A = this chain, B = another copy of it.
Amino acid sequence: MRILIIGGNGTIGNPVATKFAEAYEVIIAGRNSGEINIDIADSASIRAAFEKTGKLDAIVCIAGEAKWAAFNDLSEEDYYIGLRSKLMGQVNVARIGREFLNPGGSITLSTGILADDPVLMTTSAAMVNGGVHSFVQAAALEMENGHRINAVSLGMVEAAYEKYKGYFPGHNPVPMDVTVNAYVRSVFGTDNGKVLRFY
């Protein structure tokens, strides 16, 4: 089983990649690290990356950015950072990645608690996460060749707690084993069109 993890060297991606690599072939792609270079905000870069990976059994995207700033300060162009990356970047990973997915393969996108339960300064970040949630539910209705698609939506993960806790007063960090298991479930379970929430 060949699994591509986009963002596989990140805070969440690294433990997921480590777990999957215990039993499967894992290919890590990233903007600045990994075996394959990919910028998900650029669909040509996505296609070039998949042409390097060849056929896959699972595609996991733990990447994408959006600008955090006060609603008063976010410009229209600021919103497009997230629209091009976290939202359309992940949609394009699904659109293009499907062509490189073996029958029965899966696509897992990543979102977060902000879609359902935002905090200050997240009008853009919440928006793109919510868009991905609805996208995977709609896309699942049109998957072919036994493909599945899900989103993993996590609260603030334990490994990022110290850095981000100020933005999430009173939120309970999501343990890293729960975090990894969310991706295990999406890739190795039977879910399709689900938002796997672990808050």
Please report A residues at the B interface, Cβ cutoff 8 Å: 43, 70-72, 74, 76, 79-80, 83, 87-88, 91-92, 95, 114-123, 125-135, 137-139, 141-142, 144
Contacts and interface: CB of A to CB of B under 8 A. Distances in A.
A83 to B, nearest CB: 6
A174 to B, nearest CB: 19
Contacts of A142: 70-72, 120-121, 123
Contacts of A138: 71, 114, 118-119, 122-123, 125-127
Q: Which of A83, A92, A129 gathers the greatest number of chain B CB atoms within 10 Å? A: A83
Nearest to A119: B141
Contact of A87 (B95, B122, B127): B127
How many chain copies does the complex carry?
2
A134 B79 CA distance: 14
Does more than half of chain A's interface fall in helix, strand or loop, or is it mixed? Answer: helix
Contact of A139 (B71, B83, B137): B71
Given A71-B139, A116-B134, 7 more contacts: A83-B87, A87-B127, A114-B138, A118-B134, A123-B135, A125-B138, A126-B135
A133 B130 contact: yes
Nearest to A82: B131
Contacts of A121: 142
Contacts of A134: 114-116, 118, 126-127, 129-131, 133
